[in-house]
């Protein structure tokens, strides 16, 4: 909760008054695909990431007329060292998923979407848009692996 949600709340709380004073700004928060699609056995993680999406999207509308923009990045499997911190049943780090997306491409894509003014940024766009769309339409089961 502290890392995934409260750090975002504190960051917004610290930066929003500055942006209001200067009359513009853009806050970019990081959630996860798990903030859009629930994954089994990750209830706390999912809940915190859903909260970040909800917070970001609510503030986006609340502050739009004040020229303060909000974006929320919802990454799927990005190739970072975080996988080595996930411990499997044998005490080893998790393997990087085959469909993992290179971090440099994720950053570039995300920054392009932020500069275009997008509010919700799903990265990589595919297959994650299909996963999200399938979940929303009830056409796709969510698998245990994200």
pLDDT digits (tens, 9 = 90+) for 70-97: 999 999 889 888 776 776 667 676 777 7
Q: What is the pLDDT of residues 121-143, one digit of tens each?
A: 999 877 766 777 777 667 655 45
- Report the SS3 class of residue 46: helix
pTM, two decimals, is: 0.83
Q: Phi first, then psi: what are they for 135, rounded to 5°?
A: -65, -50
Is residue 45 annotated as a catalytic residue, yes or no?
A: yes
Q: Name residue, tokens 């859009």.
A: 36
Domain range annotation of the chain: 2-137
Catalytic residue of the set 10, 39, 45, 63: 45
Topology, domain 2-137: Rossmann fold (3.40.50)
Instruction: Using alpha carbons only, give the angle 84, 85, 88 rounded to the nearest 5 degrees.
Output: 85
């Amino acid at each position: 909760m502290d890392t995934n949600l409260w750090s975002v709340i504190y960051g917004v709380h610290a930066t929003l008054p500055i942006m209001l004073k200067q009359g513009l700004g853009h806050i970019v928060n990081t959630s996860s695909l798990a903030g859009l699609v629930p994954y089994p056995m990750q209830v706390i993680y999912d809940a915190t990431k859903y909260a970040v999406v909800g917070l970001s999207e609510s503030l986006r509308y609340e502050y739009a007329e004040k020229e303060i923009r909000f974006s929320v990045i919802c990454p799927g499997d990005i190739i970072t060292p975080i996988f080595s911190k996930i411990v499997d049943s044998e005490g080893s780090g998790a393997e990087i998923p085959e469909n993992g997306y290179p971090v440099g491409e994720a950053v570039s894509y995300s920054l392009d979407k932020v500069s275009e003014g997008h509010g919700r940024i799903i990265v990589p766009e595919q297959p994650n848009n299909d996963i999200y769309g399938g979940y929303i339409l009830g056409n796709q089961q969510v698998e245990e692996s994200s």
